[in-house]
Each structure stands twice: as C-alpha cells, then as structure tokens.
Amino acid sequence: MSDRRDLWRAGALWLALTAIGEYVVLNWPLMSPGMSAQAEEVDFAFNLLMIYSVPVFTFVVTALVYSIAKWRVKGVEPDGDAPPIADHAGFSWGWFIVSTALAALIFFYPGLTGLLALAEEGQPDLVVELEAVQWHWNVSFPEYGVTLDNARELVLPVDHTIKFELTSRDVIHAFWVPAFRMKQDAIPGEVTEVYVTPTEEGTFGTDSELRLQCAELCGTGHARMYVPIRVVSAEEFEAWIAEAGGSGGMDMGHDEGMDMGGDEMDGNDSMDMEEEG
C-alpha cells in the first residue's frame, strides 16, 4: 500500500511539473523572433523538441526529488546499504518502448522533414558571393557586377530567395545570421551554399541579430568579424545596387582601409609583400 501511495504522489508531482513546463514552452518566448522563411522552420523544430523533452526532463526531476525527500538518510547513518530494489519488467519495457518511439518520432519529425524543408533550393532570385578573410567579409553581387571589399554593410531585398555562395581565402570561417537562423561553413578552396529568404524589413541598428557573423573561431579578430545587415524593399535594393555599381563599388557600404584584424593583420600583409619583393 505504501509503495502504491508513493507512485501516486510521484505521478501527481510529475504531472504538475510537466504542466508547468509545457505552459512555459508554449507561452514563453524562448528565442527572439526569426526574420526568414528558414527561421520559421528552425523555430518550429526547436519548439517541438522542447515540447517532446519536457515530460522526459520532469520525469527524471520527479524521481530524483521525490527519492531525496522520501528516502534520504535522517539522523544517524545506517551501518550498511539499503535492500536492493527488484527490477519491474513492465516498467523497464514501457520505458524502453516509449523512449524508442520518441527517438524515432524526433528522427523523422521534425528531423528528416525539417532538413528536407530547408534543403528545398529552387531558383534563387539573387546570388550573393561571400569571401571570408581574416577578419572581414568581401561581398559580390555577380549579376550586377558589384563587389564590396571589407564590406561595412550588406543590403538584401525582402521576400526574395537569396543564394549565398561561400568561400574562404585563409582558414575555415562560417556564415551565420542570428535572425535568419542559418549557418554554413566557408572553407578554403571550396564553395559552399546556403539559401535564405528574408521575410521582414529591418536594420542592424534596431535589431542586433541582423548581422553576418563569423561563427567559427578563426583567430584574434574573430569576435569583430561581422557585417551589419539591412533588409529593404525590392525597389530600395535596386536603387542601392544601382548607386553602388555607378560608383564602381566605392564608398557604398565598404571601406578598403578597414581591417577587422587591426595591426596584427597589417603586419602580416607587409611581411608577405616584402617576401614577394
């Protein structure tokens, strides 16, 4: 009878903790709002995994807390160990079946379904070439013949599918825009791709997550290797790109004299020039 009461009490605690946890997951914003079609898919998968994981987490917490509260040693410590607890075949098989089913569900949904959704490439509306260099980004719009070295700003059109083609001149870097939720490595000697469809206009000045950030440790200037992003209407983007092309790519969101690496990079560049001479 005592064992059954313990099960009922522990079960009630588990249900209460699970209800609280699910309420927090469903009603508390755990992440800042995404600003791309891909972000919607990623955020959905994240929230769904949180919903799946809450009952498992609260089950473990319940077993731990209830055991400590009910059977902890009080007063003088006993001379020996407590009697062993016999395994319950029904509980063990139930736990195995439920956990296996949950793992299989996660593998297919949102696992495979989410990856397939993110892999839907199609025909991009715009191609942007990004070259990562210690410690800045070079940006090119090949369709418009515009190249920005040491870019200080990246302007993108809203509601357009953009294909980013990534490469690196020196070490492994990584493309990451927090507001877009997408990350892809930029590897020396290779070209990798990532597709993004911005769904809202915005600027880095009002949302710090609108930035192209290197997400791979790449040297002393890694933390400063980012470019503010501005998402604008198609008309405003066309006007900006026309002005950038008309000025030969100069002074339009870039500065050839800027280097995120500081004096250390300048010294290396000077040394390379002397050796070539």
Confidence of residue 275 (pLDDT cuts 50, 70, 90): very low
CA nearest neighbour of 58 among 23, 28, 17, 87: 17
Full residue range of the structural domain in which residue 167 is found: 126-258
Q: Please indicate, yes or no, whether residues 161 and 56 belong to a single structural domain of this protein.
A: no
Q: Please indicate, yes or no, whether residues 109 and 57 belong to a single structural domain of this protein.
A: yes
pLDDT tens digits along 126-154: 999 999 999 999 999 999 999 999 999 99
Report the CATH number that the domain containing residue 148 is assigned in CATH: 2.60.40.420
Counting the structural domains of the chain, the total is 2
- The percentage of residues in the chain with a pLDDT greater than 90, rounded to a whole number, is 66
Alpha carbon distances (Å) from 210 to 36, 115, 141? 11, 23, 19
Q: Please indicate, yes or no, whether residues 97 and 157 belong to a single structural domain of this protein.
A: no
Place of tokens 């870019």: 151
User: What six digits make up the tokens of 122?
Assistant: 């199609």
Q: Are strands 226-232 and 154-157 parallel, antiparallel or unpaired?
A: parallel
pTM of the prediction? 0.76
pLDDT tens digits along 29-40: 888 889 999 999
Q: Is the pLDDT of residue 85 over 50?
A: yes
